[in-house]
A and B are shown apart, each in its own frame.
Chain A
């Protein structure tokens, strides 16, 4: 009874009671409800693993939506993924993998109490995360310029309200029986537009596929969007050296490829159906699909691919940013030198989180960029 009274009489004393005794009084990082640092470490780690499980399930919903739509509408995915730049995707994969490596090494450095090394590695990891986001930004910007943002900002969405009037474009194309030829021809125009604006040509040429341009063809018939003949020649000239040699045929949308290599032939016929059809036949790229080749039921679903792409990469991007915040936080803590053999839990947990972010990207990259 006496022990109870003393305990209860002094709330501060109460904290220490019932423990093994020595451990916590020496270790300022041991919370009052744990007996040993090991118990605290195991608990933290378990909690983080469980949390990562919830993250996986959250992404799991998106993966499931992806699987359903890809299974039900494979042509949409075959067609629409050609808008994504596989090279930027690959670079980003490498960037994240390297940052995961520096993170893992950082955990080791924290464990060994190597303060300087830890800080260097965490800065490198942060740079990796930042690099990833910058590249993602470049990709997003290109999508924005090509009206491929999700929902009503997407030219393939039936509610798209932009100047391109895609719904009408689709209808006219269908009604007139015009196939991808017309679309592809517009694809050139589009590539040229952006090329003129001084943007990285590789990115844009890649994006300027026939399908994307299909809606624009409607715009092209209205005054403001119609490209000037002069521009065409100029841009074709600019685009040629970049597009031609550097981008392998395999990942490149055939329509854009046509734009580059057959520019001279096509430019004068801007908007006409024949040019691209001819160029496509010439290049014989059976693996690729043009907008006009899509079954009617899939034409209205091209925007779904972009919705899934943006939801997946967007949610992943949010996780990258959160991870960078966490890394910055342990960098600040680590700079004070508090991590060492007896206490490095935060570094370990943030490391786990960062690896998960990396892992998810490893799945996203092939699923979105490398569809065959």
Chain B
């Protein structure tokens, strides 16, 4: 650790790319150097390729779902039964792929993998081999999963049966006893795929927890960590505590289906509600696996683009942990109509309300951070503001649903669909794309076209709200979810919702196109294009193989005054005072709380 005060630490390269252009991307060449790499940055990029592919698939099927619903009656196929069957397979695919293959791994596995060690000033995660293993476990699980799900859609659409694949028509929740005893689709391979994917998630969680505990550099206490790391830490806690329960649940489900062991099927003496308890004991906390790292991203973005120190650091940090822990006590709110006792319902309802407290703490702190800040509406910030807006709607409608009497009316309607899409898409997806734009220059050393990116962000915001806000209305009027058809009074709701979905699809294509264009001929990115003070910006863009030439000096991660803007080409550089402080060994100005 002697390197900490190495005087030339502040020689952060002004330009992103080194004179000889040596970085982790060209560190070694050939496909094998990627496939067997232990470099967390390359693993993060490989995750990115896989996860974005899954997102593309899940999104495509979202478009097809909405197309089926654009008008009353069968749309994609002429025959009613076939059209409804196709719809069932498509929404199972959309839900299962989005949840297990995209939302859960997106922020931790892509951004977390890439950024976590760098924010720690470390060379890698704690267990690089485990990290690579988790990637391959993910790929294997995804292959299973996709084969099964696609086989169902293909069969429903064209009549062609892929060998061994009969699709999945249970939705992503695999409720028993339909899944264990009735469904004619390939439940075992699908749940087997989810089981395998769970291990990938567990391995990532173990890795991140160990990294954050033991790889923090000298001078970085728990409360000197960037809030993104707090978000990832809270996420990892959930991943290691909840995912094993899903694993055993799916194992029991597989055994039930294969052998009829009678744990969940009432006809065999089992208890179907026990399945729901087990499933939601994982899947409710899983919602926080999705949102907590996203909240971490937003904390970084809001502070950076408001040019203000984050407000209420300690509160945001603790609220992440509070959400993670409270999240384990609320699963019963998915079973208000499943025959739980009234007392249980009341308890789960009250605890569910209480999750609003740490969530609101975060929102208030973000808004207060922006207050009197010098806000720059660059693309990541647009996503950040969009996040606050939509997370507020998603969170507040969650309170509606936590209220018992309201939930009895709203249960299994489009109101629920709209609520969780506001949290999962409006919030998590916005944070993910915002985070991708925020760290894109660091990852690839290229700048994307700011105007196109901002246009796509605004279009996505409009498309999203058009798609889902009207679903609150449809749901509160009684439109049930998961139905392929609807009565005539919902025609216009569904029509506009579908138009909104197309706008979303278009804007996401623009986002992707913009990234690809930036990769091909984007401007070179400076080391620190945004003037952030977390450690990853103190390395080159893209970073060298070992992340940092010398271990960087740790300071308050939100002390943005240490940087001054030079030019678009050179980005932000350390002020002379900051350099002097490093040289004098007094750089640690962190006063967070």
> Which A residues are closer than 8 A to B by beta carbons?
1-5, 7-9, 11, 14-15, 17-21, 31-33, 35, 39, 42-43, 46-47, 50-51, 53-55, 57-62, 64-65, 68-69, 72, 150-153, 157-159, 300-301, 303-304, 307-308, 310-311, 315
Contact = CB atoms under 8 A, between A and B. Distances in A.
**Chain A facing B: main interface SS:** helix
A94 to B, nearest CB: 28
Top-8 shortest CB links A-B: A151-B259, A61-B248, A307-B261, A301-B269, A58-B244, A33-B123, A33-B124, A57-B244
B20 A8 contact: yes
Contacts of A72: 271
B128 interface: yes
Nearest to B240: A54
Given A33-B124, A46-B209, A301-B262, A53 B241 contact: yes
B260 A151 contact: yes
Contacts of B241: 53-54, 57
B245 interface: yes
Contacts of B206: 47, 50-51, 54
B546 A300 contact: no
Contacts of B207: 47
B126 A18 contact: no
19 contacts: A5-B20, A9-B22, A18-B546, A31-B128, A43-B126, A43-B213, A51-B202, A51-B240, A57-B240, A58-B245, A59-B248, A61-B244, A61-B249, A69-B271, A72-B271, A157-B262, A303-B268, A308-B263, A311-B251
B544 A7 contact: yes
A315 B243 CA distance: 16
A80 to B, nearest CB: 12
A158 B268 contact: yes
B252 interface: yes
B548 interface: yes
Contacts of B27: 11
B202 A54 contact: yes
Interface of B: 1-3, 6, 8, 11, 13, 18-20, 22-23, 27-28, 117, 122-128, 130, 202, 205-207, 209-211, 213-215, 240-245, 247-249, 251-252, 255-256, 258-263, 267-271, 274, 278, 544-546, 548-551
Given A8-B23, A51-B202, 4 more contacts: A1-B13, A7-B549, A43-B213, A159-B268
Contacts of A2: 8
A18 B124 CA distance: 13
A69 B263 CA distance: 9
Contacts of A54: 202, 206, 240-241, 243-244
B544 A14 contact: yes
Nearest to A314: B255
A321 to B, nearest CB: 16
Contacts of B130: 47
B248 A303 contact: no
B261 A158 contact: no
A5 B8 CA distance: 12
A43 B1 CA distance: 17
B263 A304 contact: yes
A9 B205 CA distance: 34
Nearest to A41: B214
Contacts of B18: 4-5, 8
B259 A153 contact: yes
A15 B550 CA distance: 11
B1 A152 contact: no
A50 B244 contact: no
Given A32-B123, A47-B126, A159-B268, A18 B548 contact: yes
